[in-house]
Chains A and B, each alone.
Chain A
């Protein structure tokens, strides 16, 4: 299969030290010249610039939009106002996750859904055709996949506001999890939200694909901005315990098991998957997503078994060497009834050797200050 490229691919070809790799059919930078660890620290201490144009953007329009999304999403879109964002999930009827996504409420009749790159086709099919509401022949809103026409950049880190404000002063007045869709920079229309996937303050910037290279250059030239690849994006989100589809959530892991119950409004009259999730809640959620820190040395990679007193209790969903903590950390999906407490010891089977780890509080990293 031919790899897909974002509008910034030509910039990567002309930049020394970029290492590209395949990610869900996309060829994207794993890191730039400085490497994953310096990029990670750059975001924690200053600001990092990410190309996230591979993410999917789907517009849902019309009188039916709100009622339709209300039935597809685990949270209540009526609970947010125009100009606000929410994190939410779409579930199958069995409670497994179709995808997790951000919903931007542009107006009562217009919503932007931002979905994972690897799930765009599946999500579009699900939203337009495969879900039980669409199958029932109910009136549908207008649904348009804008993913190829739009680019997305993220500027993340404690200095991102002061830096981005040099180009777009209005961003100072965008509170956390809200956005403006009427911004303009050098004739480039921009939608900017204060949000991100790093555990830091920061912004996500949506724009026309053809404007992306100019915008990237403008941002990359600001002093203190570190271009970052997918490697740092992963270590940053993992320290902040932000879930990654296919790891912490999937078709076979429910949001309740992934401890995302906050984003599942079971009080809502109906949404696809509600019945299964209510039942899981009543019968007892079988597994729980927890954090561990290695005591012994060893890299806990996803899929490795978690062992307690000789018994298999689950597996690693994501692991890394935390650049901030300096230790090896992992998220693990384990049986709920183990009675483990923070500080208790368990083991990870690292290529046939049982290595000690301890259960720790998550997120592994939480930003210290800030207005959010």
Chain B
């Protein structure tokens, strides 16, 4: 069973988002890291890059596949998790403790469009 946390919201692309005021941390879910297998590289965006909701922001490479990470909300990158450059396996070990990047969001209301933990749990069930 994949871990699902209650204090974040989810996208259909298996990203998690945690909004605090107007900043949002974004990472990938336990389900995503498990499907990808051993993650060997994370291509990070640059700080100050600007994205609209749904844009490709980062890329995660496992031995098996490359997976894009999209912007769950529009905004400007204010921080990237540089630790992932040398230790991409942190995403396998603790996906919820290792956000990939942090956004200054354009519109906090977009958060409400994302799935809560119950909706994401149902979404995962449909995929099994």
Contacts and interface: CB of A to CB of B under 8 A. Distances in A.
Interface string A315-330: 0000011000000100
B1 interface: no
B63 A321 contact: yes
Interface stretch (A30-38, A113-121, A146-154, A264-272): A30-38
B116 interface: no
Contacts of B64: 21, 30, 36, 231
B41 A37 contact: no
Interface string B17-51: 00000000000000000000110110100000000
A320 B62 CA distance: 9
A281 interface: no
B40 A299 contact: yes
B22 to A, nearest CB: 30
A301 B41 contact: no
B46 to A, nearest CB: 12
Interface string B41-73: 101000000000000000101011010000000
Interface in A1-40: 19, 21, 30-31, 35-37
A71 interface: no
B85 A37 contact: no
A320 B40 CA distance: 9
Interface in A267-307: 297-299, 301
A235 interface: yes
Contact of B66 (A21, A35, A299): A299
Interface of B: 37-38, 40-41, 43, 59, 61, 63-64, 66, 85
